[in-house]
A and B are shown apart, each in its own frame.
Chain A
């Protein structure tokens, strides 16, 4: 496979960016832009292979089935899972975590058990576990962070007691950019026999996952954050954990035999994929991982780390700018989250928008974290493969202008 090392010319591959030369898109942690290869793959599927998979005995249905499971194999390989049938497609990470909290959680978590999450979780990896705990009468405990925005592993060791059934944690924080020490967290969970479930929504797009070597029992991801279409994502679950899970949704395709009084289930992955699947999404995501593989995930990581380091250096000299999260670029993904003096993040975002700079302002679906940081909102800029140092320069220039506008009237 050829590896492209120059990231400066990638904008041309992304129709939306190519059509808007002045646009400085710094919100890839929310959703990424899509390369032409992904859009073409979706269109090509409908023009050459569309039928309902698993349904027909005719050749075209077989073509659609092959496209769907071929995509599954490619995505599983990209994420480092040898057993492709343990990759369950969902609408995205949110549905994947709900699948785990319901299909695994209701089978394994009972009154008096404990569920542990961390303070930096996205609502999607917080609320399903909180609500499971409430439903079954389990304890729900939150591991706090160190001052540097890392999971406090000493506290985690103390929290993960013998009655703990699951430790649910993010690979990378969407709000701070923190890259968590997955292997250490897994070791703590496995040390007492709990499972370790990882929310990889912000990990899979930016880091080499290597599922089979990572040790986690499940790894959830969203396609739209990794150059793929919206509405597709999934979760890889270790087979021995998968075998113990109840179905999450009922309907077509997930059944084996339906009797008047009861039903038997199809095998994984079908058991967890009720209804007509999102084939265009799977095919589009497979094209996205091919695009990422051609770049090389190590090169992607190096590019983003260099950009993040540059951004942190340039932001640090803006007076009144407060940066949240780890102090080193090595400890974070391509996310910088900050406040600008006493200017509310929404005002910052509006002023940047006028300069074509797209950043996120808000609580980043992490209200428990925001409360701990004593912030109602922050500004977040996030980088991906198509961003360059020019984008960072545009961000900094626009921030300096915004500050001058607000303080001219002080």
Chain B
């Protein structure tokens, strides 16, 4: 079996795809945003609850490929309890790793490192970053819904 596929579809990715964490609608969210990838038909919604500058809760729902779903699930676990600035910084680091621009930062990503295999599949970067773009949009527009697209 191919080594690059082993790296892309690690067991942690397949596990989060099958059993996504924080996969629920949040009724009392401070903000939410939709992420869409029209070419794939992928779509998900991210909900955030903010306590001052701290993301006290985060959830998502939607449909998509294993990469987009696992990435969203891992993201919710990673940014819960972080400040807005920390979450945005994490997005920057994550983006640098999955696009292959800064592979040396992978270790700093913790469990998100599981997605670093995406850098070998440029066509799938948009899948891995969809949830993050939606999270970013939700932070920007705390007071209303906003849709983003990775196309």
List residues of chain A with CB under 8 Å of any chain B CB. Answer: 343-347, 350-351, 354-355, 361-363, 367, 370, 376-377, 401, 405-406, 409-410
List, sorted by A's number, 21 A–B pairs whose CB atoms are closer than 8 Å. Answer: A344-B64, A344-B65, A346-B40, A346-B65, A346-B127, A347-B9, A347-B65, A350-B8, A350-B123, A354-B2, A362-B40, A367-B41, A370-B41, A376-B40, A376-B41, A376-B42, A376-B64, A377-B40, A405-B5, A406-B66, A409-B15
Enumerate chain A residues within 8 angstroms of B2, measured Cβ to Cβ. Answer: 354-355
B18 contacts partner chain A, Cβ-Cβ < 8 Å: yes
A386 to B22, CA, bound (A): 48
Q: Give the B interface residue count (CB, 8 A).
A: 23
Chain A nearest Cβ from B98, distance in angstroms: 14
Enumerate chain B residues within 8 angstroms of A344, measured Cβ to Cβ. Answer: 64-66
A405 to B41, CA, bound (A): 23
Chain A nearest Cβ from B87, distance in angstroms: 26
B82 contacts partner chain A, Cβ-Cβ < 8 Å: no
A47 to B15, CA, bound (A): 59
Q: Is the CB of B41 within 8 A of A354?
A: no
Q: Is the CB of B11 within 8 A of A409?
A: yes
Further pairs besides A361-B40, A362-B41, A409-B11: 20, Cβ < 8 Å: A345-B65, A346-B42, A346-B65, A346-B124, A347-B65, A350-B121, A350-B123, A350-B124, A351-B5, A354-B2, A362-B39, A367-B41, A376-B63, A376-B64, A377-B41, A401-B1, A405-B5, A405-B9, A409-B14, A409-B15
3 smallest beta-carbon distances between A and B, as pairs: A376-B41, A344-B65, A346-B65
Enumerate chain B residues within 8 angstroms of A370, measured Cβ to Cβ. Answer: 41
A264 to B85, CA, bound (A): 65
CB-CB contacts below 8 Å: B106-138 with A: 121, 123-124, 127
